[in-house]
C-alpha cells in the first residue's frame, strides 16, 4: 500500500516573537510599545500600537530568546534584562494581521511571547517606541480608586445583553456563569489574575474594537473600552498581566521591578499598581518583614513627603533561599465582597 506523505509545514508556518516589557513608573504600570508600521488588514491603519515583534530567523537566532532580545533592541533601542517565555499563540485567524512581519500572506503565524521586567522605564531613542500605561488598554482592571465606572456603565450592560442573546436556556446559563466567574459576580469575587478571561469574554461579546475589526465591521462604531492594538497583541498583553499578577504570589519577581533601595511603602505601591488593588498597609508591612526577602540598609529617606522612612534593599541570600515563594497580598476587600 502506497503511503501518503505527511504534509510539509515548513513553508506554511512562520514563527514570530513578541515581547511584553513591563515596568512601574510612579503609580502607573507601563509596557513598551511601538507604533504600528503598516497599513495592512488588521494592522490598525497606522493608528494602533503594538508590542515589539519580529520574525524568528533560524539562520541568525540560535534560540527564541536571542531573537526576541535582538528584535526589541532593534525596534526600541532597549536592552532586555529579566526575560521569561510567556506563551505560544497560534490560533487560526491571526495570519492576516501578522503576515507582513513573517514573510507574506497565506502563512500560518505562530507567535512566541516573552515577558520581561525592569525596575524603571528606559530612555527611548527610537522614534516609534513609547511607554504606554497598560490600564489605557484595560481600564476595567484598575480598582485602586474603587470599582471602575466603565464596568457599571458599559461593560456589564454589554455582557448582560450578550448573555441574553444566547439561543437556548443552557447556553444562556453557561454564558452568565462565565461572566460571573470572570468578573467576580454572584459570590465568586474578583480575581486579578483573570485578566485574559475578562478580555476574551469582551471579545466574544464584541465589546472591544479588535472583535469588530477582525470581522471587517469597524464602521459599526468603536466600543470605548480601552486602546486597541494590532493583531492579537492586546490578548498577549492580557496574558502577560494575568501571569505577572498570579506569579507575585509564588515567586519573588516583584524585586525585578524595584530600585536598588526602596521604602516598604514604595514596595507596597509597586505591587498595588500591578494587581490593581489597594492593600492593608500594616498587614503588607508585616508580610514583607517576615518574608526574608528584604533587609534594612540602616539609612532613611525624606523623599516620601512625610516623616523620614527606612530604606530597604533586596536580601539576595534570602531571595535565593526562597526562590519558590512569593509575597502575601493582603488586599483590601471591595464593598461587595
Q: Average pLDDT of each block of 10 consecutive residues along the chain (337 residues)? A: 49 82 95 74 58 87 89 83 88 51 60 91 88 97 96 96 92 95 93 96 94 74 83 94 94 92 95 95 90 92 78 89 77 54
SS3 of 260-315: the string is CCECHHHHHHHHHHHHCCCECHHHHHHHHHHHCCEEEEEEEECCCCCCCEEEEEEC
Pairing between β-strand 13-25 and β-strand 28-35 as defined by DSSP bridges: antiparallel
Residue 199 buriedness (CB in 10 A; 0-12 / 13-18 / 19+): buried
* Residue 230 near residue 210 (C-beta atoms within 8 A): no
Task: Map out the domains of the chain with their CATH numbers.
Answer: 13-136 (3.90.79.10), 142-226 (no CATH), 252-321 (1.10.10.10)
For the chain, give the longest Cα–Cα distance.
85
DSSP class of 171: H
Q: Rounded to the nearest 5 degrees, what angle is found at the Cα of 18, between the Cα atoms of 59 and 329?
A: 135
Grid coordinates in use for 242? 494575568
Q: So what's the pLDDT on residue 305?
A: 63
* Residue 51 near residue 20 (C-beta atoms within 8 A): yes
* Residue 326 near residue 288 (C-beta atoms within 8 A): no
Q: So what's the pLDDT on residue 77?
A: 83
Q: So what's the pLDDT on residue 44?
A: 43
Q: So what's the pLDDT on residue 73?
A: 85
Grid coordinates in use for 47? 493608528
**Strands (E) located in the chain:** 13-25, 28-35, 49-50, 53-55, 82-89, 108-117, 129-133, 294-301, 309-314
Q: So what's the pLDDT on residue 313?
A: 95
Amino acid at each position: 500500500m502506497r503511503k501518503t506523505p505527511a504534509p510539509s509545514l515548513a513553508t506554511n508556518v512562520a514563527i514570530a516573537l513578541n515581547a511584553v516589557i513591563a515596568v512601574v513608573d510612579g503609580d502607573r504600570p507601563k509596557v513598551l510599545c511601538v507604533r504600528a508600521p503598516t497599513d495592512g488588514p488588521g494592522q490598525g491603519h497606522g493608528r494602533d500600537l503594538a508590542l515589539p515583534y519580529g520574525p524568528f530567523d533560524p539562520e541568525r537566532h540560535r534560540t527564541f530568546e536571542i531573537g526576541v532580545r535582538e528584535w526589541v533592541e532593534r525596534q526600541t533601542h532597549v536592552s532586555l534584562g529579566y526575560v521569561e517565555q510567556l506563551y505560544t499563540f497560534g490560533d487560526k485567524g491571526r495570519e492576516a494581521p501578522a503576515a507582513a512581519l513573517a514573510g507574506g500572506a497565506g502563512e500560518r503565524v505562530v507567535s512566541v511571547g516573552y515577558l520581561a521586567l525592569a525596575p524603571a522605564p528606559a530612555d527611548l531613542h527610537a522614534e516609534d517606541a513609547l511607554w504606554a500605561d497598560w490600564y489605557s488598554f484595560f481600564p476595567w482592571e484598575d480598582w485602586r480608586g474603587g470599582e471602575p465606572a466603565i464596568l457599571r456603565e458599559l461593560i456589564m450592560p454589554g455582557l448582560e445583553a450578550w448573555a441574553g442573546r444566547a439561543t437556548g436556556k443552557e447556553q444562556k446559563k453557561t454564558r452568565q456563569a462565565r461572566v460571573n466567574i470572570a468578573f467576580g459576580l454572584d459570590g465568586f469575587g474578583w480575581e486579578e489574575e483573570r485578566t485574559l478571561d475578562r478580555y476574551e469574554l469582551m471579545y466574544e461579546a464584541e465589546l472591544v474594537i479588535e472583535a469588530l475589526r477582525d470581522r471587517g465591521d469597524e464602521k459599526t462604531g468603536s466600543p470605548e473600552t480601552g486602546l486597541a492594538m494590532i493583531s492579537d497583541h492586546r490578548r498577549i498583553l492580557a496574558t502577560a498581566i494575568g501571569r505577572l499578577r498570579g506569579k507575585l504570589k509564588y515567586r519573588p519577581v516583584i524585586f525585578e521591578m524595584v530600585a536598588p533601595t526602596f521604602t516598604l511603602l514604595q514596595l507596597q505601591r509597586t505591587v498595588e499598581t500591578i494587581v490593581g488593588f489597594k492593600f492593608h498597609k500594616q498587614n503588607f508591612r508585616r508580610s514583607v518583614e517576615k518574608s526574608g526577602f528584604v533587609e534594612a540598609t540602616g539609612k532613611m529617606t525624606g523623599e516620601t513627603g512625610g516623616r523620614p522612612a527606612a530604606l530597604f534593599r533586596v536580601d539576595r541570600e534570602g531571595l535565593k533561599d526562597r526562590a519558590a515563594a512569593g509575597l502575601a497580598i493582603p488586599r483590601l476587600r471591595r464593598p461587595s465582597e
